[in-house]
Structure 1
Amino acid sequence: MNMRKISVLCGSVLVWGVVAVSGFTSCDDSMSFTTDRSALLSFSADTVRFDTVISTVGSSTRQLMVYNRNADGLRIASVRLKQAYATPFRVNVDGSYLEPESGARAYDFEVRTGDSIRVFAEVTMPENGQDAPVALNDTLIFALESGAEQHVILTAVGQDAYMWRGRVIEADTLLEAGRPIVVYDSLSVKEGVTLSMAAGVQLYFHDGANLWVHGRIVAEGTVDRPVVFRGDRTDRMFDYLPYDNTPSRWGGIRLKATSTDNRLNHVDIHSASYGIACDSSSTDAMKLTLENSVIHNVGGEGLGLYHCRASVGNTQISNTLGHCVAVVGGWAEFVHCTLAQFYPWDAERGDALYLANKWLALDYPLQHAHFLNCLVTGYADDVVTGNLEDENKDVDYYFGNCVLRTVEAEDDASRFVGVVYEKKDEEGSGQEQFRLFDTDNYLYDFRLKDISIARGKGSTEWAARYPTDRYGTDRLTEPVPDAGCYEFVPEE
């Protein structure tokens, strides 16, 4: 048989033994390709953006979808990166890697009508020798068979950082503001040594890394330039959700038994597995003074005080899987603090405040646990709980001019003076009293709205100890200050 005489036409059926279907796909309109210059590709984005990435550390992967929404197929003659050899970006187009050594170019792609291909991009930013972040761009150029060219911008911001691996601070050290410090394998402060941190210092901890303090830490931030303790993931879990808004990105800060006289002012601790854990030590010496600070969104306890001495003022501790604050024995005083338990990631969350005089079958006398002008709230009906055995022995707790989301105390009114009990669904209570409560994007602003029941519930006596709130707003201009760490200010 002369195969040249067999004619295959669209719409015809040919049966010759077993004939592969693929042999006839040329009859499908999807296999017709156009060279019309007006027929172009469509992209899921015109710019592929990378969040700020640490220089020399590879980024996460971004995806770009390339669609053909034309009536005919399109052939892509080449895809290339404009900077070729000099590009910091790594790109894979439909399984073909754009090798920088080969000019960062790949050839011959087909996109049938209604079909698409995937592009994956990563970046490793070079060191720029500066403290400030530096942006770099490149262009991904699609050259069609028709001669038309289409461009997609790749952009990233690189931040130089100091890399510390298993660093031990063995002599008194002052950290100045500048490029962040990325901590791998934890950072330790030796007994008898002080690590000081100036305003604007940023410590980025890798997954599982902790700050172990056997000696002493002193952090002196400001309203505008806090000292920041956070995870090192600077990218996003989803387009709307930075990893920095999620908990358990790093370990936390642990003040060991030998550590005393730690002073933290205007610090921001967030996205950790726990906030600050204070190991048992003598209550004769102040272990921790924490002021004008935030501990937020952690996967364990926010502040754990275990038979030690601590003073906390003008501080927000919020959204923790464990208790926001746990006081187990010892001496602790909280003035103008906001304890807000709205942890969104697990319904089995802890309480806003937990008091106990026993832990792991051991007795820890609760010598002094006083809460003055504080706001303690959360999702649950009762967020103030504890385990206090024999309250008449070695137990001293007191709430003065606080707003508490708990069952009203009836048995010992002398411990609850000027207290307002927040009730479920009461106007201005719970989450409704705060400026921003976005559970879709995990964004929160615990400053008060005008309707908050915490307004005007404080005492000028206690406010005199902190005459301005965490943001520096004067508390004493109003006849009666608000409870919590924020004084109400009308929104602009």
Structure 2
Amino acid sequence: MKQLLFILLFIGLISFTSCRDDFELEPSFGALEFSKDTVYLDTVFTNIGSSTYSFKVYNRRDQDISIPSIQLNHGESSNFRLNVDGVAGKTINDINILANDSIFVFVEVTADIQELSQDQLSFLYTDQINFDTGANRQQVELVSLVQDAHFLFPERFEDGSTETLSLGLDEEGQEIQIDGFILDDEHLTFTSGKPYVIYGFAGVPSGETLSIEAGARVHFHENSGIIVSRDASMRALGEVSADPELMENEIIFEGDRLEPEFSEVPGQWAAIWLTQGSTNHRFDHVTIKNSTVGILMDSNDGTDQPTLTLKNTQIYNSANVGLLARTAFIDAENVVINNSGQVSLNLSLGGRYNFRHCTFANYWRNGFRQFPAVLIENNLEAGEALFVADLVEANFSNCIIYGNESIELIFNKVDEAAFNYKFENCLLRFNDTSNRFVDNDLYDFENTDLFENIILNDEPLFLDAEVNQMIISNESPADAAGNATTANRVPFDILGKDRTQSPDLGAYQSILFEE
């Protein structure tokens, strides 16, 4: 009986406390504390929403308090948005904070620079959050930089459908379509004024050339990219800056999220796709980052000149492949590729390739990686079908191939097609600890017809490969190990530093690292 009375008393006590609605609340009295007195929302493009930023509001008192109002200073016309303790709005009333407790305030912004300023490419947009009013008012400042841009996107039709590009027919005869649009004449030259933001795939029409001028910035939304059609070309020609540390004249391709936390996130956009039959592509002083595939060079144009020429080009943080070439003809110098989810350089299905003073590395740490930094093949499996094509040549001179796996160079050869390659004055990571390839003639590093002046498995001493700082130390084994003839063909490194007197391997001349 006593136990039953105890249970009933306990239940009654719980009911009394849970139904209590007579908390004594004090006004805030201007005694709030904040984790930030100013919230800096990073740069956003006009009319594109920002990430969500937050700060905490503290009640340090021993008494529960109530904040009568929390509102943006610009009221309903503000381009900022608030969420306070789960309540969204631009004016929020009667927010309670328990004694010695806190609440979160979340802030976002979407602004139209045309409404803010008619003649500026960027505009510093500010507002304040007012906590309470009158003598008790406290404020937290809000600051964001709004950037104007050229926005290129597929047309949306009255029936709700969106403009698409055709990629031909699939195995069942069905048309393959992707969201995209054809660039018109006025958009076939990208300049260095406003950045460009692309939604969907921007198609370069047959017979035309897309020209990207020095200093241009091109940003892609999710699942977007550039696709160059048959008989069309792409020329992205940046310049080396007078101050190599600034690199303001290079061309940058990246995603459209400008917040720092997205600056090194792979897979934010799709690819630059140079399709079969496209021709005469040139990239110089270009950085491509955070894509799924950096460049897909699909076949060659059938001429005796390279279909794709790469100079002073960097490709970083590709979710799948940095440079994927299928039966391509590529001539490259001072190219750096690093941090790829699968392969940094995949020479697939044969082709012709010449790489001089290039750095191909892979220090991917975002998950398991089963492929090497460099994969060279003369065949391609597609379902049950096997396609083969001659690897006419794959020449690497004064290059570095390295990474955080034991073996960073793999050949995939079938006898039905030619397989020609030569590595000269290169530093390679090939540490065959399990002796898988000990009797495989493809990896006979003593065969000077295939490998000449090779440095095996010595750390190249990159500055910080995990964050794509691929310059090497002057104590690197790659220092002064280059072939002079090759260096004379590429007399300056990717930063414009002379290498003819003492050429190092890779795209960079070495430097003295500071302690």
In which range does the TM-score fall when normalised by the shorter chain? 0.7 to 0.9
- Tell me if 1:335 matches 2:331: no
2:276 corresponds to: 257
Query: Does structure 1 retain, via aligned residues, the 8 Å contact 2:445–2:451?
Result: no
- Tell me if 1:189 matches 2:204: yes
Question: CA offsets, 1:85-137, max 9 Å, x none?
Answer: 442211122344444xxxxx333222111322222211112213456322111
Question: CA offsets, 1:17-38, max 9 Å, x none?
Answer: 9962246686xxxx5555685x
Q: In terms of mean alpha carbon deviation, does 353-362 or 204-213 score higher?
A: 353-362
Shift of 1:330: 1.1
1:136 corresponds to: 125
Question: Secondary structure of the residue that 1:418 maps to in structure 2?
Answer: strand
1:221 corresponds to: 238
Cα gap change, 1:20 to 1:452, in 2 (>3 Å): same
Question: Secondary structure of the residue that 1:50 maps to in structure 2?
Answer: strand
Q: Where in structure 2 are the equivalents of 1:223-242 lying within 5 Å?
A: 223=240, 224=247, 225-235=249-259, 242=261
Cα gap change, 1:378 to 1:32, in 2 (>3 Å): same
Task: Indicate which of 459, 468, 479 corresponds to 1:444.
Answer: 468
Shift of 1:420: 0.7
Question: CA offsets, 1:172-210, max 9 Å, x none?
Answer: 832211111111121001111101111111111110012
Shift of 1:165: 0.8
Task: Indicate which of 337, 345, 348 corresponds to 2:369.
Answer: 348
1:202 corresponds to: 217
Cα gap change, 1:338 to 1:48, in 2 (>3 Å): same
Shift of 1:384: 0.5
Amino acid at match of 2:143: T
- Tell me if 1:278 matches 2:293: no
Shift of 1:63: 2.3
Q: In terms of mean alpha carbon deviation, does 327-336 or 16-25 score higher?
A: 16-25
Q: Where in structure 2 are the equivalents of 1:33-432 lying within 5 Å?
A: 33-34=25-26, 37=29, 40-99=31-90, 105-127=91-113, 128-130=117-119, 132-143=121-132, 147-166=135-154, 167-171=181-185, 173-214=188-229, 215-223=232-240, 224=247, 225-235=249-259, 242-281=261-300, 282=302, 284-328=304-348, 329-360=350-381, 361-390=386-415, 394-407=418-431, 409-410=444-445, 412-423=447-458, 429=459
Question: Secondary structure of the residue that 1:266 maps to in structure 2?
Answer: strand
Query: Does structure 2 retain, via aligned residues, the 8 Å contact 1:343–1:349?
Result: no
TM-score by length of 2: 0.82
> Distance in 2 between the 1:268 and 1:132 partners?
22
Runs of 5+ in structure 1 lacking a partner?
1-12, 100-104, 237-241, 424-428
2:499 corresponds to: 475
Query: Does structure 2 retain, via aligned residues, the 8 Å contact 1:315–1:485?
Result: yes
TM-score by length of 1: 0.85
Cα gap change, 1:153 to 1:386, in 2 (>3 Å): same
Shift of 1:410: 4.1
Question: Secondary structure of the residue that 1:21 maps to in structure 2?
Answer: helix
Amino acid at match of 1:62: Y
Cα gap change, 1:387 to 1:84, in 2 (>3 Å): same
Cα gap change, 1:144 to 1:418, in 2 (>3 Å): same
Query: Does structure 1 retain, via aligned residues, the 8 Å contact 2:28–2:65?
Result: no
Question: CA offsets, 1:366-390, max 9 Å, x none?
Answer: 1110001001100111101011234
Shift of 1:276: 0.7
Question: CA offsets, 1:467-490, max 9 Å, x none?
Answer: 11101111124xx31100000123
Query: Does structure 2 retain, via aligned residues, the 8 Å contact 1:81–1:138?
Result: yes
Runs of 5+ in structure 2 lacking a partner?
1-8, 155-180, 241-246, 432-442
What is the root-mean-square deviation of aligned Cα atoms in Å?
2.5
Question: Secondary structure of the residue that 2:143 maps to in structure 1?
Answer: strand
> Distance in 2 between the 1:338 and 1:307 partners?
22
2:508 corresponds to: 486
> Distance in 1 between the 2:257 and 2:47 partners?
14
Percent identity, aligned pairs only?
A: 30
Task: Indicate which of 424, 435, 442 corresponds to 2:463.
Answer: 435
> Distance in 2 between the 1:298 and 1:203 partners?
16
